[in-house]
A and B are shown apart, each in its own frame.
Chain A
Amino acid sequence: GESVGLHLPTLSVQEGDNSIINCAYSNSASDYFIWYKQESGKGPQFIIDIRSNMDKRQGQRVTVLLNKTVKHLSLQIAATQPGDSAVYFCAENNGNTPLVFGKGTRLSVIA
């Protein structure tokens, strides 16, 4: 709920601009990555995923970029809307263990 957002890094974006949310992952053996969106008072919801044999994947208004060399993942949201305001988490795994989640970034859209 509302307490999830405390102590999180925050990204403030003007409505209509593009957003870029970054995530550094820790396990070089990870081969699957997911981005989740969590709105206040709700459970995380799947946005997009990518496997390690790809470096880019596009969805509706979202793009995930994967840089395995520096173990970095990013989520790009085009034409950010007020409904995009939420906490965004990246998650990783290598197929043998449950997903490991990052701490999250709060996206705040300024109308």
Chain B
Amino acid sequence: DAGITQSPRHKVTETGTPVTLRCHQTENHRYMYWYRQDPGHGLRLIHYSYGVKDTDKGEVSDGYSVSRSKTEDFLLTLESATSSQTSVYFCAISEPTSGTYEQYFGPGTRLTVT
């Protein structure tokens, strides 16, 4: 998976609790992304980062925050998890200077909010 790891791979949590998902890359790519994937919706962008401390919102950013203090790590935080945030979360990376806009994906984190 192009040097991308996600942790944890599976998590079950209760409504109202905070949750942080971690994405770690060893490719030194500048861009990192968080998506969620749900039946009938495909991949939807939550937030993305175009450099250390530089982030922007995607189409479904409400209820999520992100941080990127190092090139290799991109954290996704659910401040107070809700059942609607039960989903599979994918991290992706890309490097525009490579000449393509291809994004490489991690293995995913399955989150269940009860």
Residues of A within 8 A of B (CB): 1, 3-8, 32, 34, 36, 41-46, 49, 89, 91, 93, 95, 98-99, 101-104
Contact = CB atoms under 8 A, between A and B. Distances in A.
B105 A4 contact: no
Contacts of A4: 37, 39, 88
Nearest to B110: A1
B90 A103 contact: no
A45 B104 CA distance: 7
8 residue pairs, one from A and one from B, having the closest CB atoms: A43-B105, A6-B39, A7-B40, A103-B42, A101-B43, A44-B105, A101-B42, A32-B101
Contacts of B110: 1
A104 B40 CA distance: 9
B104 A7 contact: no
B97 interface: no
14 contacts: A1-B88, A4-B88, A6-B39, A6-B40, A7-B39, A32-B101, A34-B103, A42-B107, A43-B90, A43-B107, A89-B42, A89-B43, A98-B33, A99-B101
- Counting contact residues on chain B (CB < 8 A from A), the size range is 20 to 34
A42 B88 CA distance: 10
B70 interface: no
A70 B3 CA distance: 37
B29 to A, nearest CB: 13
A97 to B, nearest CB: 9
A98 to B, nearest CB: 5
B31 to A, nearest CB: 8
A44 B90 contact: yes
Interface centre among A8, A41, A43, A89 (most CB of B within 10 A): A43
A99 B39 contact: no
B40 A98 contact: no
Given A8-B40, A49-B100, A49-B102, 14 more contacts: A1-B110, A3-B39, A4-B39, A4-B88, A5-B39, A6-B39, A34-B102, A42-B107, A44-B105, A46-B104, A89-B42, A91-B103, A95-B96, A98-B48
